[in-house]
Amino acid sequence: MRFLLDDEQREFARSLDKMLSAAEPTAAVRAWAAGDTGPGRALWARLAEAGVFALAVPEEHDGLGPLPVELAVAFGELGRHAVPGPLVETVAAAALLGRLGGPVAADRLPGIASGRTVASLCLLSPAAPYALDADCADAVFVVDGDALLLADAAGPVQPSSDPVRRLARPVGGAVLRRGPEVASAAAHAAEVAALAVAAQALGVGRALLAQTVAYVGGRRQFGVAVGSFQAVKHRLADTLTGLEFAEPLVHAAALALASDDPDAGRAVAAAKVAAGEASYAAARSALQLHGALGYTEELDLSLWIRKARALRTAWGTPAQCRARVLAR
Amino acid sequence: MDLDFTAAEDAFRAKARAWLAEHVPATPLPSLETADGFAAHREWERELHSDRWSVVSWPEEFGGRGASILTWLIFEEEYYAAGAPGRVSQNGINLLAPTLFEHGTDEQRARVLPSMASGEVIWAQAWSEPESGSDLASLRSTAERVDGGWRLSGQKTWSSRAAFADRAFGLFRSDREGLEAGKPHRGLTYLMFPLDADGVTVRPIGRIDGKPAFAELFLDDVFVPDEDVIGEPGQGWKVAMSTAGNERGLTLRSPGRFTAAADRLTELWRAQADPADTALRDRVADAVIGARAYRLFTYANASRIAAGGSIGTESSLNKVFWSDLDIALHETALDLLGPYGELADEADDAPAHGSWAEGYTFSLAGPIYAGTNEIQRDIIAERLLGLPKGRR
């Protein structure tokens, strides 16, 4: 057993971190939220060049995957830098099409791998009526029972509490495939999506913690750095503890998906709960410890705070995931 | 990156499981914090030792199996999954022995370790003093140099297992200069001493449920020979810290305890809980997730150590996490048990032979001992996050 990322995986994370730090994605986030996806699409192309989307696409369709561990590594960095767009939905769609195979996979997957196709995905149910960024994605896939459809259009955008998440109901669509294999591929896609969200949430939490540690180290009140107060320290110590213990669950869930472990669904659910809670706790700490400044929209911190809230329920609410952990 | 065991590790697991299935008492032993329970647990240590299962991570020459950290973790998982008794020897095995392996002499190892491994000698720790708890380095008990050894005087307290144990180990001030110069970590000496020596008075203290789980030790001019000093005189703090890392880190609280308890909680929940009570279900799920996280975190640490790395301040993360998890897990079990949740472990009606009640009482001490969780959070904030030092 060597339950540690290997050198290549670490280097992959470092190179993405470096690329995204230089790209300053927060401007792309604000543009995307305002309806201008241009800067976000440029960033998307660079992520595709780095191989991020190919990780979810099988080799026979011009991909590198499926490589769930590397995917989790990548989504950690995407979360850390608050990258906009239907990232999770695109890799989940790739997982779904990859499982299905056939002409629809051959038709669509190379575009996803290369970054030409920004995809969204909705596994239609009363609990999941929306497709993220359906209004600006190139292809919106919908699974309705045992049918896979390609939506014709998107309904009006319902603003999310995370302004960069453009939620819309997919409208109409031609049936691409029908059969029991669609439902089982969709179940797999949901697990890949939940893993990606968990990894992304972990990255969001790490970014929130880092920004807050920096802030309380510099902010002075009563003649000392507020970060020297025990109430502040202990809150941040708990934030770090939550994130540190969520990370191995995310890695183990990725390994379970990589080996088609029959327990993968439970492992992913555990990772989603832990990472979602840790990330949300980091957001609450960040908000509280930045004081009134943290409650402003103009501070970029708000981009991460609001994302942590949305990711908590995206692709599996805490209660659904907890129930899954205990399911036989 | 993988979570795979080798064929040899799987074989070791199977062998441990088979032995435990054959030997673990069918009904739990009485609480090890009682005289009868202590004796029964000592006897269990002897049985473990007779087939070389009491100290699997020690070298073979001292009765162990030379197990790697990972193999030791496998043993612990099997041990607790089998419902085996708590380890009355754990202070010695987990705190003193690692110190002897690192800082002791060959003579000390040959003299101390075999009787520790067999349970013939049970060790208690003697760290805290009435005025020195979290601020351990301020301790005042003294070791005065005399011909051929040392004379110990002072008072120790919260000494776990000391009510029934045979010997103890701890820190004593052998030189006051450090204390007077505001550098209290200097001038401390690490010593071992018998609890039945002339001048030692042991006053058992009832823990919150009345069982004498710890004791006060009064030392009045107790003679200890030079051969019972571990490491160099005056270097005791450094010597002791190598065990403190052990206590808080991997060794004292192996994940097997929590994964086994979480599995039992899940069984209890399936058998007895109201399926409509989703609040309770969520707490059970959190216990399962927490135990799994702790196990995986430990595997990552074990991998890091196997790759030549070391675990330092990160052990404070461990300590905060497992101690909070342990309480939450047992609270959930007691809530689930409804009217039976309040029964003391010795009650005839107590579910699972009182193991939930005993486990709960035991868990309550977790955030307090081995450096309170407040101190651990300070360490995490200052050394891992780099926040400025402040008033405690």
Is the distance from CB of B262 to CB of B288 less than 8 angstroms?
yes
> For residue A163, is it within any domain?
no
Closest CA to B94 of B215, B214, B253: B253
Instruction: State residue B251's pLDDT score.
Output: 57
> Which positions in chain B touch A274 (Cβ < 8 Å)?
289, 293
Is the distance from CB of A123 to CB of A186 less than 8 angstroms?
yes
Average pLDDT rounded to a whole number, residues B115-123: 97
> For residue A164, is it within any domain?
no
Contact A1 B391 (CB under 8 A): no
Rounded to an integer, what distance in angstroms lies between the CA atom of residue A253 and that of residue B185? 44
Q: Are B189 and B173 in a shared domain?
A: yes
Pairs across A and B, CB distance < 8 A: 147
Query: Is B102 among the catalytic positions?
Result: no
Rounded to an integer, what distance in angstroms lies between the CA atom of residue B84 and that of residue B80? 6
* Interface predicted TM-score (ipTM) over 0.90: yes
Closest-CA residue in chain A for B295?
A248
Rounded to an integer, what distance in angstroms lies between the CA atom of residue B270 and that of residue B263? 11
Mean pLDDT of all residues belonging to chain B: 94
Comparing CB atoms, the residue among A9, A225, A249 nearest residue B292 is A249
Could you give the dihedral angle defined by the CA atoms of residues A87, A260, A313 and A16, in that order, rounded to the nearest 10 degrees?
-30
Contact A237 B289 (CB under 8 A): no
Secondary structure of residue A315 in the 3-state scheme: coil
Identify the residue among A229, A239, A273, A326 best suited for mutation to test binding to B, counting B beta carbons within 10 A and taking the highest. Answer: A326
Cis peptide before A163 (omega within 30 of 0): no
Instruction: State how many domains chain B has.
Output: 3
Rounded to an integer, what distance in angstroms lies between the CA atom of residue B6 and that of residue B11? 9
> Which positions in chain B touch A68 (Cβ < 8 Å)?
none
Closest CA to A303 of A204, A217, A159, A198: A204
Residue where one domain finishes, among candidates B185, B204, B234: B234
Closest CA to A130 of A319, A314, A325: A314
Q: Which helix or strand (DSSP H or E) is residue A205 part of?
A: helix A180-218
Domain harbouring B305, CATH code: 1.20.140.10
Secondary structure of residue A11 in the 3-state scheme: helix
> For residue B244, is it within any domain?
no
Kindly report the CA angle at B91 between B86 and B93, in degrees rounded to 5?
90
> For residue B240, is it within any domain?
no
DSSP class per residue in A85-142: SSHHHHHHHHHHHHHH-HHHHHHHHHHHHHTS--EEEEE-BTTB--EETTTT-SEEEE
Q: Are B260 and B372 in a shared domain?
A: yes
Is the distance from CB of A71 to CB of A64 less than 8 angstroms?
no
Instruction: State residue B58's pLDDT score.
Output: 94
What's the predicted TM-score (pTM) here? 0.96
What range defines the domain where residue A252 resides?
Answer: 186-326
Residue B8 has pLDDT above 70, yes or no: yes
Burial class from Cβ neighbours inside 10 Å (0-12, 13-18, 19+) for residue A19 reads: middle
> Which positions in chain B touch A244 (Cβ < 8 Å)?
297, 317
**pLDDT single digits (tens) A61-105:** 999 989 999 999 999 999 999 999 999 999 999 999 999 999 999
pLDDT confidence band for B314 (50 / 70 / 90): confident
Instruction: State how many domains chain A has.
Output: 1
Rounded to an integer, what distance in angstroms lies between the CA atom of residue A32 and that of residue A54? 23
DSSP 8-state secondary structure symbol assigned to residue B121: S
Closest-CA residue in chain B for A8?
B1
Domain harbouring A246, CATH code: 1.20.140.10
* Sign of the CA dihedral running B19, B20, B26, B32: positive
> Which positions in chain B touch A5 (Cβ < 8 Å)?
1
Closest-CA residue in chain B for A325?
B285
> For residue A17, is it within any domain?
no
Instruction: State residue B133's pLDDT score.
Output: 87
Chain A interface residues facing chain B, Cβ-Cβ under 8 Å? Answer: 1-6, 9, 69, 209, 213, 216-217, 224-225, 227-230, 232-234, 236-238, 240-241, 244-246, 248-249, 251-252, 255, 270, 273-274, 318-319, 322-323, 325-326
Contact B390 A233 (CB under 8 A): yes
Domain harbouring B60, CATH code: 1.10.540.10
Instruction: State residue A328's pLDDT score.
Output: 85
Contact B297 A319 (CB under 8 A): no
Q: Which helix or strand (DSSP H or E) is residue A313 part of?
A: helix A301-313
Secondary structure of residue A188 in the 3-state scheme: helix
Q: Are B259 and B380 in a shared domain?
A: yes
Q: Are B216 and B291 in a shared domain?
A: no
Q: Are B142 and B175 in a shared domain?
A: yes
* Regions of chain A where pLDDT drops below 50: none
> For residue A258, is it within any domain?
yes
Comparing CB atoms, the residue among B278, B299, B388 nearest residue A228 is B388
More confident position, A30 or B275: A30
Nearest-neighbour CA in chain A from B173: distance (Å): 30
Contact B307 A326 (CB under 8 A): no
Q: Which two tokens stand for residue B58?
A: 């020690």
**pLDDT single digits (tens) B158-217:** 999 999 999 999 999 999 888 888 899 999 999 999 999 999 999 999 999 999 999 999
Residue B252 has pLDDT above 60, yes or no: no
> Which positions in chain A touch B266 (Cβ < 8 Å)?
326
Identify the residue among A211, A240, A241 best suited for mutation to test binding to B, counting B beta carbons within 10 A and taking the highest. Answer: A241
Q: Are B325 and B377 in a shared domain?
A: yes
Half-sphere exposure of A214 (CA within 13 A, CB side): 7
* Sign of the CA dihedral running B189, B194, B197, B203: positive
